[in-house]
């Protein structure tokens, strides 16, 4: 269902924007960024990677529908990334915000796209300024070197139970 929702959005984008939409949505990460606010949210969040795949395939010229046979989104905790972030934050005057991060999770949305999610001790009642400060610190630390074959598009800050507090481009 997420793939179909992405496909419909991609077709609409292509109809409205032509070939330029394909560049914006595929090369510049538009489909990945749109997936964060895509509707219906309860469908998209079940497999955001499938939504992205559908969107990208639909904005591509001459692309056929190739729905995935299994879920696309893969979540992988990265303890090393958390340790490196905390070490950097401690050495750069940002130890306190970094201590609120319990886990860094790479949310793989396909073969080349992923988001970075910070599961934190913050709650939905936490001060927005504290959440923003953490996001600012992480983005400053993130050097943009996504590796050889992948691109990180978004930073998502969540509560421990996964409620989204903030999203930001990387």
CA gap 20, 105 in Å, rounded: 32
pLDDT at position 143: 75
CA gap 169, 80 in Å, rounded: 22
Tokens representing residue 20 in the block:
């330029």
pLDDT at position 30: 87
CA gap 7, 51 in Å, rounded: 7
pLDDT at position 25: 75
Cβ proximity of 54 and 5 under 8 Å:
yes
| Angle at alpha carbon of residue 8, lines to 67 and 113, rounded to 5° | 60
Tokens representing residue 85 in the block:
């972030």
Q: What DSSP string runs through 90-122?
A: HHTT-HHHHHTEEEEEEEE-SSSEEEEEEEES-
Question: In sequence order, what are the beta bridge partners of 156?
Answer: 117, 167
DSSP 3-state assignment of 147?
coil
DSSP 3-state assignment of 61?
coil
| Phi, psi angles (nearest 5°) of residue 13 | -65, -40
In tens digits, the chain (170 residues) has pLDDT values of 999 999 999 888 888 887 777 777 776 778 899 999 999 999 999 999 999 999 999 988 667 889 999 999 999 999 999 999 999 999 999 999 999 999 999 999 998 899 999 999 999 888 899 999 999 999 999 976 555 567 889 999 999 999 999 999 88
Cβ proximity of 48 and 73 under 8 Å:
yes
Cβ proximity of 166 and 156 under 8 Å:
yes
């Amino acid at each position: 269902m997420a793939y179909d929702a992405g496909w419909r959005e991609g077709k609409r984008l292509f109809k409205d924007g032509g070939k330029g939409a394909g560049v914006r949505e595929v090369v510049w990460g538009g489909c990945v960024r749109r997936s964060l606010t895509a509707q219906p949210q309860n469908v998209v969040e079940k497999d955001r990677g499938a939504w992205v795949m559908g969107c990208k395939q639909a904005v591509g010229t001459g692309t056929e529908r190739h729905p995935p046979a299994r879920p696309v989104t893969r979540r992988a905790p990265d303890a090393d990334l958390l340790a490196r972030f905390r070490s950097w934050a401690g050495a750069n005057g940002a130890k306190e915000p970094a201590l609120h991060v319990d886990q860094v999770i790479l949310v793989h949305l396909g073969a080349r796209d992923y988001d970075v999610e910070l599961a934190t001790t913050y709650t939905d009642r936490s001060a927005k300024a504290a959440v923003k400060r953490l996001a600012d610190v992480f983005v400053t630390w993130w050097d943009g070197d996504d590796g050889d074959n992948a691109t990180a598009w978004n930073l998502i800050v969540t509560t421990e139970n996964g409620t989204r507090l903030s999203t930001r481009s990387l």
